[in-house]
């Protein structure tokens, strides 16, 4: 993911069937998605999915594309796949970026264990803890679906809380035991 110079920062508070969240941006790129941020609970009425016609027309182009894709996703459609250049990875290590990018290999409706996912990345199974740590630093949940990586007998972790992980997986047709 290439890095770009920052513009004016801001955020877009959203409400979805899975819960409220906000998208942070620097004027050019998305800098994060906060699923459990305190401000989200207080100001979650700015944009609601499914979208009303033309409700995203005044947003910057990257955010407008992101919002349209999220609208399709939350309406039961496809993954919200944006070009990697739409996301700022400033502050992330190359290993973390590679792990986060790799989550797109897991299709909606599927999950992979940390060991399986490590192998998908070409890493030894012993890297599963490092992979889990990198997934915990994913600033772009939903867009890079780290919620699809689970433990052998448990749901595993999720930086935004297990309730969010279960809601996103349930939205994609996956129920964990």
Q: Are 45 and 80 in contact (CB under 8 A)?
A: no
Is 52 in the same domain as 97?
Answer: no
14 is catalytic: no
Domain boundary among 41, 62, 85: 85
Q: In terms of domains, do 62 and 96 share one?
A: no
97-138: per-residue pLDDT in tens?
Answer: 999 999 999 999 999 999 999 999 999 999 999 999 999 999
How far, in Å, CA of 1 to CA of 102, rounded?
12
pLDDT band at residue 11, thresholds of 50, 70 and 90? Answer: confident
Is residue 165 domain-shared with residue 141, that is, in the same domain?
yes
The pLDDT assigned to 3 comes to: 36
143 shares a domain with 101: yes
Beta-bridge partners for 21: 14
Residues 109, 69 within the same domain: no
CA distances (Å), origin 169, targets 98, 102, 107, 143? 22, 18, 11, 14
Q: Is residue 134 part of a domain?
A: yes
Tell me what pLDDT residue 142 has. Answer: 93
The confidence band for 5, taking pLDDT boundaries of 50, 70 and 90, is very low
Tell me the CATH number at 101.
1.10.10.10
Average pLDDT over residues 89-98: 96
Query: Structural domain of residue 101, as residue ranges?
Result: 92-171
Tell whether 137 and 165 lie within a shared domain: yes
Using one digit for the tens of pLDDT, what is the confidence trace for 13-63? 888 888 888 899 988 899 999 987 555 555 545 566 666 555 666 678 888
Q: 177 lies in a domain?
A: no
Of 137, 142, 136, give the one whose Cα is nearest residue 158: 136
The answer to whether 66 and 29 have CB atoms below 8 angstroms apart is no
Does 4 fall in a domain? no
Query: Of 31, 63, 85, at which residue does a domain stop?
Result: 85
pLDDT at 173 over 80: yes
4: pLDDT strictly greater than 70 = no
Q: How many domains does the chain have?
A: 2
Cβ atoms within 10 A of the Cβ of 158, count? 23
Instruction: Report which listed range, 18-22, 65-69, 71-75, 138-142, is most confident.
Output: 138-142
Q: Of 12, 33, 86, 146, which residue is the catalytic one?
A: 146
The answer to the question of residue 113 being in a domain is yes
Residue 47 falls in which region: left (phi positive, over 0), alpha (psi -120 to 50) or beta: beta
Element (H, E) at 25: strand 19-25
């Amino acid at each position: 993911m290439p890095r770009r110079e920052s513009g004016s920062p801001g955020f877009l508070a959203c409400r979805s069937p899975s819960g409220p969240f906000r998208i942070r941006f620097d004027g050019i790129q998305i800098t994060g998605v906060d699923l459990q941020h305190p401000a989200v609970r207080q100001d979650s009425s700015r944009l609601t999915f499914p979208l009303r016609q033309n409700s995203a027309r005044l947003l910057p182009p990257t955010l407008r594309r992101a919002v349209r894709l999220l609208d399709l996703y939350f309406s039961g459609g496809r993954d919200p796949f944006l070009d990697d250049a739409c996301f700022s990875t400033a502050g992330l290590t190359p290993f973390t970026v590679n792990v986060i990018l790799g989550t797109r290999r897991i299709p909606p409706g599927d999950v992979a264990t940390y060991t399986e996912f490590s192998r998908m990345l070409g890493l030894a199974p012993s890297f599963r803890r490092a992979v889990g740590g990198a997934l915990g630093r994913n600033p772009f949940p939903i867009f890079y679906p780290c919620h699809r990586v689970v433990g052998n007998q448990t749901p595993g972790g999720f930086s935004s809380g297990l309730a969010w992980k279960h809601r996103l997986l349930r939205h994609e047709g996956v129920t964990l035991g």
